[in-house]
Structure 1
Amino acid sequence: MASALGWLDHDANAQAKTLDILALFQQKESRDELGIGAIRDSFAEQLFPGTSTIQTRLRYMLFVPWIYQRLENKRISAANFGIQADRDERALIIPLSKLEEDSAGTFGKNSREKLKRLPSSVYWSGLRRWGIRETSCSQEEYHRRVDELYRMRREMNEREYQEKNRGDMGDTSSYKPPQSWHSSLPAPPPNFPNGATFALTRQEASFLRDRIQVSCKGSLLAWLTLHSEPADVSSPWEHPDYARFPDELKELLTHARLFSYAMHGAALLYNYLLAKERADNDLLSQHHDSFVAWFNALPREDIAIWSLDHMWILTAGPDYSISQKTRRFVEQWIDLIRQASGALLTSKEACALIRAREIALKGPRSRFKNRRALEQWSGSAGTLRLVYRWNNVQIVLKDLAQGLRREEC
């Protein structure tokens, strides 16, 4: 039986999600003010596994393992491993920032030495989801226990050597040393990280596409990387190849689309109520117009026959716990949409629902209860329509397609 490195760390996934959430709070339109993030993330992860809204360029999926693999090859001790990894990741900023036409997406391009979150922490979960990272532990645990990894490899090599000398070779697969990274990971360029670019070689692109196909079967991400060219559209359900999508993906997208349309209105009403609370007439007018435009564009017939029971089945899963209170809030809001004849913005029931939901989530920090919190409101929070990481996924698909078309030197 082959050896496997699988340090137990129950908090690794939770930690990655927490870091993602903290980063999202820096983006006002992405904030989950009404507690629907678990539903949003369930759709997003089923459609585009391993991606996130704070990932930038696809080649970071190789930059990170290249850095760590090189440190392992040098046998950098646990005491210095994290420090050296930090230095090597920051060293990427300089060559990537110098790219004249393709520096977009460079971590630390503007903040430089003040960069707080390194690419490795942003891509750590995705590397595991795509099967590029084979160790299941958290990043910090990996740093702390790398000496144990070296010891396990050394013992395995010594055992193989001794048994070869005795002529007692059994199943050779049992001598496979534990690995942190996929065995077919392409080698980095000879001068890496100097001269680093975001341009994937064809070999690198093929490797990443294969990882997606194996690890993300049945997802829209896997289908698009194999059957479609990149498309510049504002949401996945507007893709020009939508008619060719497998039926199960079209069904999932139908629910994701209707959820996006419906909950967009709840976010707009929330901001309208805050503008009213702050007596800001300019913002009040702005959010009033946005809500009216949303209401007039609603796909009413689709929402009228939408099966929420089926949506709950599709979004259920161990990684995304959707509480009964959240379900009830969503169901009540959609019932109000279905019943509304045009006066939803002034509906006492609708306004009370939004207020009660935010107060229940935030308690004394509620902007309806806390004047300081209201004053700190930027004027717009969570007002972009949900597209389930699509903007970032389009960059992934474009980088991949360009790599697959590239002629090898």
Structure 2
Amino acid sequence: MTSSFGWLAIDAEQRRRMMEAVDQFRDEGTIDDLGLGGIRDAFSGTLFPGTSTLHTRLRYALFIPWLLQTASHRQSVPEMMATFRESEYRLIEALKRGGESTGVIGREAGRNLQRRPSAVYWGMIARWGIFEPGFTVRRYFERELLRREELRASPRADDPELNPPVTPTGLDPRLPDPPERLLHKAQFALRAEDAQYLTEAITRTTAGTLLSHLATHRPTTWTDATMAPKAAWDPAIRSELPPLLDGIVGRAERFAITAHGVNLLYNLMLAEATSKHARQGGSLIDVYTERLHEWFDEAQRAPLNAQERTHIWRMVADRGGQVSRTTQEFLGIWADAVANATSATELTVSRELRDRIRAREREKKGSRARLAPGNQRALDAWSGASGTDRYDFRWPVARSHLQDLYDAQEAG
């Protein structure tokens, strides 16, 4: 079926969010068949605000405002917009000339790139206060023209402090100057002043989050990229967290483990309904049965009790969302069943749990539900894995950004 998404009359942040949603459904490991993605996203935003699964390297958060500043020297908004668009394409080649081989947005697509870096990183730029939230590229250029006219019309005083104020452009005046000849040769490595600015921006705008904490508290075992923690709840991280933040991180881990189990059981039910085999050979029924047994031992050590679930509902609400009654009930019944079970088999053979998973899929997917009676086409389209990755709450992206900060701090 041809996509009918359109991009009319939306700003870069809206476009970024929509494209992220599209990409989410291209990754078989992260598809949200059972409707728990809203909670996952709330944890991601709480722990690592401003990040996105589409991000590659941290310095894009500076490249974009630097390119905007350069384009703003043109004489009209259309000229500024065209220059900025052209500079994003030129940045691709500049990064290649700088020796960058991975993380370059548009490296293969070149001028056929459909989603430019500004659309991908605009949410980060706004969330971290590099740009005033709510601003768009066009509005920034319009403000630049207005500011230019105000400066031209205002009489100059000998004392700079007596000059009349002008309309702010929305761009943080503390932004460091760009490197020389940025569009000739560019690299992702941060300068010391870049790292200092971004660290200050993160800690100023995301105080109390895991991202803010790690920006200024590098775990002692994280000596280089090869020693970076594998998860946000790694003991090397949690050992140094303040109690409130540690509670959020622990809750995120327990939710990730709990949700992983119900998604594995869902896939086991699909395997039973299709009798498909793994690519390496062997029955997928056996694969998911084994994975559930391995998961169960871990789940028993990290129960998600009613009090913890209440904290989760409150966290989602604090971010402007809401966990529906049916979602609360579905997750609660599953979590309690896990806590009370004596074996993985007790969960996998439970008729009640299987019925609830079928009902939950129908609730979220309607006529596209694979387990709905008679929906053979949907069953046949199942690839053998749907939503089987454990939630990581964007940790790989945050870890990469933090590594860029740490490397610059060491070099400085």
Please indicate the TM-score interval, normalised by the length of the shorter structure.
0.7 to 0.9
2:232 aligned to 236, 261, 265, which one? 236
Alignment of 1:89-168 (within 5 A): 89-97=88-96, 100=99, 102-134=100-132, 136-137=134-135, 139=136, 142-143=137-138, 145=139, 148-161=142-155, 164=156
Aligned mates of 1:388, 1:212 — CA distance in 2: 18
Alignment of 1:4-403 (within 5 A): 15-75=15-75, 77-97=76-96, 100=99, 102-134=100-132, 136-137=134-135, 139=136, 142-143=137-138, 145=139, 148-161=142-155, 164=156, 172=162, 175-229=165-219, 230=222, 232-281=228-277, 282-300=283-301, 302-303=303-304, 307-342=308-343, 343-369=346-372, 370-403=375-408
Q: Give the secondary-structure state (helix, strand or coil) at the position aligned to 2:383.
A: coil
Using the TM superposition, give the Cα deviation of residue 81 of structure 1 relative to its aligned residue in structure 2, in angstroms.
4.3
Q: Deviations over 1:267-318 (max 9, x none)?
A: 1111111222222142222222212211122234644575322332233224
Aligned mates of 1:176, 1:377 — CA distance in 2: 58
Aligned mates of 1:26, 1:176 — CA distance in 2: 46
Q: Deviations over 1:157-209 (max 9, x none)?
A: 14422xx48x9x99857513321311011121211122111110001110100
CA RMSD, Structure 1 to Structure 2 (Å): 2.6
Using the TM superposition, give the Cα deviation of residue 333 of structure 1 relative to its aligned residue in structure 2, in angstroms.
1.4
Tell me: CA distance 1:28–1:96, structure 2 relative to 1, closer, same or farther (3 Å): farther
Q: Give the secondary-structure state (helix, strand or coil) at the position aligned to 2:107.
A: coil
Alignment gaps of 5+ in structure 1: 1-8
Q: Give the secondary-structure state (helix, strand or coil) at the position aligned to 1:124.
A: helix
**Percent identity between the two aligned chains:** 32
Using the TM superposition, give the Cα deviation of residue 392 of structure 1 relative to its aligned residue in structure 2, in angstroms.
0.9
Tell me which amino acid in the other structure corresponds to 1:79.
P
TM-score using structure 2 length: 0.86
Q: Deviations over 1:112-131 (max 9, x none)?
A: 34432221111101100100
Alignment gaps of 5+ in structure 2: 1-8, 278-282
Aligned mates of 1:69, 1:98 — CA distance in 2: 22
Q: Deviations over 1:306-349 (max 9, x none)?
A: 53223322332243332222222211211221232222112111
Tell me: CA distance 1:174–1:222, structure 2 relative to 1, closer, same or farther (3 Å): farther
Using the TM superposition, give the Cα deviation of residue 52 of structure 1 relative to its aligned residue in structure 2, in angstroms.
1.5
Q: How many residues align?
A: 389
Tell me: CA distance 1:86–1:159, structure 2 relative to 1, closer, same or farther (3 Å): closer
TM-score using structure 1 length: 0.87
- Does the CA-based 8 Å contact 1:78-1:146 persist in structure 2? no
Aligned mates of 1:89, 1:12 — CA distance in 2: 14
